[in-house]
Amino acid sequence: MADKIQISAETRTEFGKGSARRARRADKIPAVIYGHGDDPRHVLLPGHETSLAVRNPNALITLDIEGEEQLVVPKDIQRDPIKPFIVHLDLLAVRKGEKIVVDVPVEVVGEPATGFEYMLDQPTVPVEADALNLPESISIDITDRDENALPDALILPEGAELALTDLESPIVSIYEPQEQPLEDEDAEAEAEGEEAAEEAEGEESGEESGEDSE
């Protein structure tokens, strides 16, 4: 289940690009907390500690905001496109006993029937679960399957419900690999040989023209 982590935070009083850059230079991450109809709350979080915490995108975090505790889960993580650091965080305020919808990674278990291969079509699925008991991943067992695994094959933990609206699209596609006919391979090789011969002739022709002009 989701990690429970305690992080100290401070209220953010300065805004704008300049203050955000200064915060990041001080190894702090600007973040905003929203939810329950309350006004958004702007805070600064310790950079290294927070980056480790949100490696699990559904981590349950207890923020200590200058002596006041607030439970949150990450909702949006903005990362720098070039450098390996977090630019900004959107955090959802949660309460004990509250259910929320989060995207949970799908973990494939087992191998399909002999002669079949598989492809994970939906690496995450939306799940509604207790905010204090969010699953880190959801399994789908494809052992000896020879047909697609639909959402009803997902193994949900107790108390969690699938929040998908499309229940017909496969989570995992199961298929028989198609071998390329030998005739096609021979034709392809022959075509490549002809192209190489034409290129060689063109180069020789160019060299001869160059010699004639001297």
CATH number for 164: 2.170.120.20
CA dihedral 96, 151, 91, 72 (to 10 degrees): 20
Domain final residue, candidates 75, 94, 113: 94
> Are 106 and 123 found together in one domain?
yes
> Are 209 and 171 found together in one domain?
no
> Are 79 and 26 found together in one domain?
yes
d(C-alpha 179, C-alpha 200), whole Å: 32
Could you list the residue range(s) of the whole structural domain that residue 140 is in?
100-175
Domain final residue, candidates 94, 125, 157: 94
> Are 66 and 16 found together in one domain?
yes
pLDDT interval class at 214 (50, 70, 90):
very low
pLDDT interval class at 213 (50, 70, 90):
very low
Which pLDDT tens digit goes with each residue over 125-159? 999 999 988 888 999 999 999 999 999 999 999 88
Q: What is the pLDDT of residue 14?
A: 77
* Higher local confidence (pLDDT), 180 or 5: 5
Can you list the alpha helix ranges (DSSP code H) found in the chain? 17-25, 47-53, 182-213
Q: What is the pLDDT of residue 128?
A: 94
Q: What is the pLDDT of residue 136?
A: 87
Domain final residue, candidates 94, 124, 142: 94
* Higher local confidence (pLDDT), 64 or 24: 64
Mean pLDDT for all residues in the chain? 84
Q: What is the pLDDT of residue 87?
A: 87
Indicate whether 198 pLDDT > 80: no
Buried b (16+ CB within 10 A) or exposed e, 28-66: bbbbebebeeeeebebbbbbeebbebbebbbbbbebebe
Count the domains in the chain. Answer: 3
> Are 153 and 196 found together in one domain?
no
Pairing mode, strands 99-109 and 138-141: parallel
> Are 71 and 56 found together in one domain?
yes
> Are 114 and 76 found together in one domain?
no
Token pair, residue 162, equals: 């699938």
DSSP-derived letter for residue 152 is G
d(C-alpha 72, C-alpha 9), whole Å: 12
Q: What is the mean pLDDT of residues 80-98?
A: 87
Is the entire prediction scored with pTM above 0.75? Answer: no
d(C-alpha 164, C-alpha 150), whole Å: 11
Q: What is the mean pLDDT of residues 18-25?
A: 80
Which pLDDT tens digit goes with each residue over 60-85? 999 999 888 999 999 988 887 877 78
CATH of the domain at 23: 2.40.240.10
Lowest-confidence segment of 6-10, 31-35, 100-104, 209-213 by average pLDDT: 209-213
> Are 83 and 157 found together in one domain?
no
Q: What is the pLDDT of residue 122?
A: 96
> Are 199 and 132 found together in one domain?
no
Question: How far is CA 59 from its chain centroid?
Answer: 15
The string of DSSP codes covering 78-128 is EE-SSSSSEEEEEEEE--TT-EEEEEEEEEEES--STT-EEEES-SEEEEE
Q: What is the pLDDT of residue 12?
A: 84
Indicate whether 40 pLDDT > 60: yes
> Are 8 and 90 found together in one domain?
yes
Lowest-confidence segment of 31-35, 134-138, 202-206 by average pLDDT: 202-206
Question: How far is CA 77 from its chain centroid?
Answer: 11
Q: What is the pLDDT of residue 86?
A: 86
Q: What is the pLDDT of residue 2?
A: 46
Q: Label residue 140 exposed, middle or buried (CB < 10 Å: 0-12, 13-18, 19+).
A: buried
